[in-house]
Amino acid sequence: MVIGVLALQGSFNEHIAALRRIGVKGSEIRKPEQLECLNALIIPGGESTTMAKLAEYHNLFPALREFVRAGKPVWGTCAGLIFLANKAVGQKSGGQELIGGLDCVVHRNFFGSQLQSFEIELSVPKLADNEGGTDICRGVFIRAPGILEAGPDVEVLADCPVPSDNAGPVIPGGEDLEDKILFQDRVIVAVRQGNLLGTAFHPELTSDTRWHSFFLKMVKETDEKTLQCISTSERPMENFHEKKPYDLPIFE
């Protein structure tokens, strides 16, 4: 099994190290053709605008979108979560290109500037159910996004209290989501939708590898479903020979 880590910028080395600790090979991905041999992909945290420009320069967006559409597991952390969202708000002038696929609205810089980065204990019962241990994990938020809205098919895995000194970011242009941001006291920070996993924080910067194990199980589930589809669609050769040949029309 080979898990790719998008290595344009950001904490890709930390993800590869975390995968190594659970016995999985992580491969640095920088070109579209490198996606072809992967079982799954991690899009790390970093500076989302810079990552988007580099991805566009290397013509990665079409291949990344096709990777998601093919149903292969993809995990986005922090900036990676922004990339996977169907919609991102609070962006810089001109916005940035997204991969999409995750039915949610993400605020690019929900928790404020780099100086407002923080760590907090998050309650994630699903993580404990799947991987054992306590249902508390350490969340490292570095100039982090927040998930403002999640669609009906999106499973919310964790939310986080909005810091008391954060009145809520204001969306430029007076978008209709502004009131929802200003008056909410908790914000979603981890979700799963089918083959997609998104976390607003950085599990790769902690010693807890359960998020990487959780993602690995998603990969195995996807591989098993693929094998089941292949096995049910195949016909035994003896049945094939028993069938009568088709009567094809003859055109003169």
CATH assignment at residue 67: 3.40.50.880
202 is catalytic: yes
Question: pLDDT means per 10 residues in the chain (252 residues)?
Answer: 93 96 95 94 93 94 96 96 94 79 94 89 96 96 95 97 61 45 78 98 96 96 66 46 42 36
Looking at the structure of the chain, the number of domains it has is 1
Q: Is the dihedral of CA 199, 115, 118, 3 positive or negative?
A: positive
Domain-located, residue 195:
yes
Domain-located, residue 66:
yes
Task: Of 30, 32, 31, 3, give the one whose Cα is nearest residue 17.
Answer: 3
Burial string for 185-198 (b: 16+ CB within 10 Å, else e) reads eebbbbbbbbbbbb
Other C-beta atoms lying within 10 Å of the C-beta of residue 178: 16
Domain-located, residue 65:
yes
78 is catalytic: yes
Q: Is the dihedral of CA 126, 153, 163, 112 positive or negative?
A: positive
Domain-located, residue 128:
yes
Pairing of strands 40-43, 2-6: parallel
Which residue is catalytic, options 15, 107, 202, 212? 202
pLDDT of residue 238: 44
Domain membership of residue 203 as a residue range: 2-235
212 is catalytic: no
Domain-located, residue 63:
yes
The span from the CA of 102 to the CA of 151, in Å, is 9
Whether the model clears a pTM of 0.75, i.e. scores above it, the answer is yes
Domain-located, residue 181:
yes
pLDDT of residue 170: 43
Domain-located, residue 143:
yes
Amino acid at 195: N
Which residue is catalytic, options 14, 78, 131, 212? 78
Contacts of 133 (CB under 8 A, 6+ apart): 127, 210
pLDDT of residue 138: 96
Which residue is catalytic, options 14, 104, 204, 212? 204
Domain-located, residue 246:
no
* Residue 141 · residue 117 · CB < 8 Å: yes
* Residue 74 · residue 43 · CB < 8 Å: yes
Structure tokens at 85: 């969202």
